[in-house]
Amino acid sequence: MASRSVNKVILLGHLGRDAETRYTPQGVPVSNFTLATNRRWKDQQTGEWKEETDWHNIVVWRAENLAAHLQKGKQVFLEGRLQTRSWEDKDGNKRYTTEVVAEAASIVLLGGRGEAMSSGDAEMGPPPARTTRAAAASPAPAAAAVQDVPSQEISDEDVPF
């Protein structure tokens, strides 16, 4: 019996920059953008709200009109798979990157800057202390729980570039 495996990522976050679309030499469109996801918790020792931001590199193949709709700050829900690539830099060093490869059909625009918030978008407490860590996809809540996740706007200060 062959063993089975699953490579699935579900993310709900805000775009860190506008999506960019480029074309391969064969004319195939590929769009790239970054997505910020946040985790909030209350520090048990200090009682202070804290937040940690993870950055994810997203790649979407064969969707040339996608970039027009994906602007910095917009909230997006997407499903995809993890893919790690390697290459040699100009100094001959081996480099690696892990990306989320998403299908255009699995990307849902949920809103963003300047758009009305729904009743489920209420603030959950005082503003948290922010920390960041390298982009790494971590397990996300099940799709049914996504509705309970409050929308959190990101500002220009949240974007590291």
Q: What is the pLDDT of residue 159?
A: 54
- Is there a domain that residue 157 lies in? no
Count the helix, strand and coil residues of the chain and give each as a percent rounded to the nearest 5.
5, 45, 45
User: Structural domain of residue 60, as residue ranges?
Assistant: 9-138
Assign 148 a pLDDT band (cuts: 50, 70, 90): very low
Judged against a pLDDT cut of 70, whether residue 151 lies above it is answered with no
Q: Which residues contact 43 (CB under 8 A, 6 or more apart)?
A: 49, 50
The string of pLDDT tens digits covering residues 112-145 is 554 433 323 333 333 344 444 443 333 333 333 3
* Number of domains present in the structure of the chain: 1
Strands (DSSP E) along 20-158, which ranges?
A: 20-23, 29-42, 49-61, 75-88, 94-111, 129-133
Q: Other C-beta atoms within 10 Å of 68: how many?
A: 10
Q: What is the pLDDT of residue 127?
A: 38
Per-chain mean pLDDT for the chain: 76
The string of pLDDT tens digits covering residues 73-102 is 999 999 999 999 999 999 999 999 999 999
What average pLDDT score do residues 97-108 get? 92
What average pLDDT score do residues 60-77 get? 90
- Is there a domain that residue 4 lies in? no
Assign 68 a pLDDT band (cuts: 50, 70, 90): confident
pTM above 0.75, yes or no: no
SS3 120: helix
The CATH number given to whatever domain includes residue 126 is 2.40.50.140
Q: What is the pLDDT of residue 129?
A: 42
- Is there a domain that residue 1 lies in? no
